[in-house]
Amino acid sequence: MADRTSSSAYWAANVRVILISLAVWFFCSFGLGIILRPALKGIMVGGADLGFWFAQNGSIYVFLVLIGVYAWKMNKLDKEFGVEE
Amino acid sequence: MDQFTLNLIVVGITFAIYIGIAIWARAGTTAEFYAAGQGVPPVLNGMATGADWMSAASFISMAGIIALAPAGGYEQSAFLMGWTGGYVLLALLLAPYLRKFGKFTVPEFIGDRFYSGGARLVAVICLIIISVTYVIGQMRGVGVTFSRFLEVSTDTGLYIGAAIVFAYAVLGGMKGITYTQVAQYVVLIIAYTIPAIFISLSLTGSFLPQLGLIGGYAPSGGDVAMLTKLDQVVTELGFKAYTSESANMFNMFLFTMSLMIGTAGLPHVIIRFFTVPKVADARSSAGWSLVFIALLYTVAPAVGSMARLNLTTTFWPGAVTGSAFSAPALSIADIESKPELSWINTWKTTGLLAYEDKNGDGLIQYFNEPAALVAANKALADATKALTDAAEGADKAPLEAAVATATTAVDAALAEAQLGGQSMAAQGLRGNELTKIDNDMMVLANPEIAALPAWVVALVAAGALAAALSTAAGLLLAISSAISHDLIKGSINPNISEKGELLAARVAMSFAIVVATYLGLNPPGFAAQVVALAFGLAAATIFPVLMMGIFSKRINKEGAIVGMLVGLVFTSLYIFAYKGMFFVPGTNWLPDTPANYIFGISPLSIGTIGAVLNFASAYIVSMATKAPPAHVVELIESIRVPKGAGAATAH
């Protein structure tokens, strides 16, 4: 397919990956860690409530996985579109 | 061997390693000086970024800030999420594209993308304000650590620290700094985690502090969660519960966001991603950076909560098994006689901790004074001061009457205030007797509080120095490259030779060290607030302009310049309004208390609003003016695709 190699299709795919990743980034930190904490008070992670745990530890783990998945996905996209170095 | 000798040996060995690396990694070209010749493997760059990023504030202060926050430890989660979540933004939105651009400095990208020397100059100004304010805190951190552990004055400590940074930063440039930072990372992470592991084991029985945080409290059998125990103990003493909800969720949201986009916009962090060989490496390197940073940041909340619990049960031994009041408070006799409590007086001499037996019962009662009592005590202190300051022969009767009234008010407040189900007056209390406990003490004193071996104490000293020195070096490089590359080569003397520019970079670096040392010796009295300014400005100026430069083809030079200036002016003014014009005490227009904040937004959180205004004004101005020229659109298209990055070019 011709458009598979075009740089605008590559950019559109890149932006989609970024938007999905940012949604996860926002949900775990601002969502679970701050806004939803009062609503989720009843759910415990060990000795801490879910929101507290996400704010102090959980969201950092999610960030790590997120960057890992993003880097892997982008490397795959680079190859697919033939734009890798 | 005594503690001092041990500290000297451990710190001496780490310094010898740093100097050794500097000699091995001398920079011979500007590409090596600015970007380590783009030959740093992603994992090592991740470690170096970790050390570069984790400053004296992260290592020394953060756990203490979380532990002792009056609003509870949860509210301070903004630091934990903000200072890590920024790396997600860096990896996704900035690092790969800026690496593809393949030049040496942040202002250089802004100048090329917005085809304007003016935009580049505004970026240089923002960069210098951000980095200089940030470096002051690091130099202070070096001085404080030296004075506590190596028995020299804070000033002497500062000179020694400056000399070490001078040796490896001026000689090695980015190359020397990077490889030194790798060593510094190893030192600081070991120094941070070892005491944390010991404390977690003793308090929760869990080897991993991350699991200890959510584990059971071991000294009372482990069936009560450590955090529940902590909440119980501190609320008994009148403090806000450690896990209590944020008083102002909107402000916490903005503060977290401000720290995140501020992190992504800090020039000394961004330039680290210019050092890796490829675009794909910039992405993975951001991931590795966060791995190494997360090792400390996931431990920090455990350190904070456990240090708070340890501290509280030290002063209320009864709290270990039951209520804080089930046994008498810690006695002065115990502090003076028991070796495991000798740290209290050691730290008292540094001024970071203070106690005062106000009611003369020989015990130190540590608790939170209710607001009414604090106000009454302050009124009494003011009235007493007015009386003692009164001129000879003046009519003292009204002043004496004022003191008597204030004393009655304090007695009334004490009769009103409750502690442990009884009024404070009934228990003979006059007020909280642990009168000062500094945030900065918590991490540094942790090994002593937990009675760890002497070598651990020495290691923490070396770790704190590594954290402060590595960040200072990274900042100094960002400043010197902005001067030699953006100002001298970019506008004053574009025809400067490679050798001339390298020399200029070294001179600029030396100059930056002298300025940083001077500011460290004569801190403008606002060391804590300036970090807020640095993050606020990075969030409101650099981050938006870089993001728009990459993700929009329409934002032009007029929009970028207006956007940066709006962000810069708005954010500085809002901070100055509460903290004083250029932080000069007494020149603030509005009192620095939450009741006076507009919509409850603290000056620390304003960077987010500054960023929004930057985006909005840049967009409006760009739409009203001419679109960027064709060669700039080509530049944007080329940085969006990894292919063809290659080595960076000088020009």
Q: Is the pLDDT of residue B646 over 70?
A: no
State whether B225 and A18 contact (CB < 8 Å): no
Report the gap between the CA of A76 and the closest CA in chain B (Å). Answer: 11
Tokens linked to B314? 């030290």
Q: Is the pLDDT of residue B649 over 70?
A: no
State whether A7 and B80 contact (CB < 8 Å): no
Provide the CB-side half-sphere exposure for B600 (13 A, CA): 10
CB atoms within 10 A of CB A33: 30
Q: Is the pLDDT of residue A4 over 70?
A: no
Task: Report residue B368's pLDDT band, with 50, 70 and 90 as the boundaries.
Answer: very high
**Which region among B64-68, B389-393, B565-569, B596-600 has the lowest average model confidence (pLDDT)?**
B389-393
A62 touches chain B (CB under 8 A): no
Tokens linked to B157? 């400590």
| The predicted structure's pLDDT at residue B528 | 55
Cβ neighbours of residue B184 closer than 8 Å, sequence gap 6 or more: B14, B18, B51, B466, B467, B469, B470
For B209, the closest chain A residue by CA position comes to A57
User: Phi first, then psi: what are they for A48, rounded to 5°?
Assistant: -120, 150
Q: How far apart are CA B335 and CA B345, in angstroms?
A: 8
| The predicted structure's pLDDT at residue A16 | 96
Closest CA to B20 of B155, B183, B249: B183
Report the gap between the CA of A26 and the closest CA in chain B (Å). Answer: 9
| The predicted structure's pLDDT at residue A1 | 40
| The predicted structure's pLDDT at residue B393 | 77
Provide the CB-side half-sphere exposure for B179 (13 A, CA): 23
The vertex-B169 CA angle with B270 and B128, nearest 5°, equals: 50
DSSP-assigned letters across all residues of B455-510:
HHHHHHHHHHHHHHHHHHHHHHHHHHHIIIIIIIIIII-TT--HHHHHHHHHHHHH
3-state secondary structure of B17: helix
The percent of residues in chain B predicted with pLDDT above 90, rounded, is 55
Residue pLDDT, tens place only, B501-536? 999 999 999 999 998 888 888 766 555 566 767 899
| The predicted structure's pLDDT at residue B651 | 44
Q: Write the Ramachandran bin of B103: left for phi over 0, alpha for psi from -120 to 50, otherwise beta.
A: beta
Here the ipTM equals 0.95
Among B81, B91, B642, the residue with its CB nearest the CB of A59 is B81
- Helix B226-236 and helix B300-315: axis angle, to 10°? 50
Pick B544 or A4 by higher pLDDT.
B544
Q: Is the pLDDT of residue B220 over 90?
A: no
Pick B291 or B647 by higher pLDDT.
B291
A25 touches chain B (CB under 8 A): yes
Report the gap between the CA of B211 and the closest CA in chain A (Å). Answer: 8
Residue pLDDT, tens place only, A24-69? 999 999 999 999 999 999 999 999 999 999 999 999 999 999 999 9
3-state secondary structure of B343: helix
DSSP-assigned letters across all residues of B564-599:
HHHHHHHHHHHHHHHH-GGG-TT--SS-SSGGGSGG
Closest CA to B180 of B43, B12, B22: B22
Classify the C-alpha dihedral B438-B144-B132-B164 as positive or negative. Answer: negative
Tokens linked to B368? 């939170």
Q: Is the pLDDT of residue A3 over 50?
A: no
| The predicted structure's pLDDT at residue A73 | 95
**Which region among B178-192, B446-460, B601-615 has the lowest average model confidence (pLDDT)?**
B446-460
Cβ contacts from A onto B, under 8 A:
137
| The predicted structure's pLDDT at residue B153 | 81
Long-range contact set of residues B616-620: C-beta below 8 Å, sequence gap at least 24: B617/B559, B617/B562, B617/B563, B617/B566, B618/B544, B618/B545, B618/B548, B618/B555, B618/B559, B618/B560, B618/B562, B618/B563, B619/B555, B619/B559, B620/B559
Which residues of chain A have a CB within 8 Å of the CB of B84? 59-60, 63
Interface test with B, best of A7, A57, A83 (most B CBs within 10 A): A57
Amino acid (one-letter) located at B99: R
CB atoms within 10 A of CB B26: 14
Residue pLDDT, tens place only, B113-156? 999 999 999 999 999 989 988 888 788 788 878 877 787 887 88
Which residues of chain B have a CB within 8 Å of the CB of A73? none
Report the gap between the CA of A20 and the closest CA in chain B (Å). Answer: 11
Residue pLDDT, tens place only, B294-323? 999 999 999 999 999 999 999 999 999 889
For B243, the closest chain A residue by CA position comes to A52
